[in-house]
Structure 1
Amino acid sequence: MTAARAIYFLERFKREEKLLGPNEQLALDFSISALCLIEERDRLREALEFYADELTWADTNPKNDGRITVLVPSPSFAEIDRGERARAALEGDAS
């Protein structure tokens, strides 16, 4: 089960269960907050892994003329991305 799915069920339980006392409600709120932090951590880890990957920064356009392979200057994935993945992760809109 994903964190998002668990959050959905906990929020639904909190909304629909009428016999929850204040301590139980606080415990549910705490659990939901912890699961939200797990989701945020996963988004940030994905963006960090993208920028930590050596291939992200490599020129990726080899040209083979039959004798030797020559790297033709081309933008790296990081230059093409221009921070979009990092901004999406920080905003909570992982893609």
Structure 2
Amino acid sequence: MCEVLKVSRSGYYKWRDRPKSARQERREELTQEVRRVYIESRQLYGSPKVAKKLNHEGIKVSQKTFSRIMNEEGMKSGPGKCLKPTFYCYETK
């Protein structure tokens, strides 16, 4: 595999065994929090409401970041209330 990727064997093992960066760990924590709020909302909240809720809880990140995380994880907001259509009957003369 190292020959196909044109990397040294020692370089591959060094990359494989490298610990996660602080940025990767922060991203995983954010993903877990977004998933928690999304599930608590019965999969109805979109990124603006998720961002507002998490910012209120003390996790300060932009709405764009939450939107990106939700897109990567396949989380989409569901429909709101189901409203029955109202039909008006008019008498014809």
TM-score of the aligned structures, taking structure 2 as reference length: 0.27
- By percentage of residues, which structure has more helix? 1
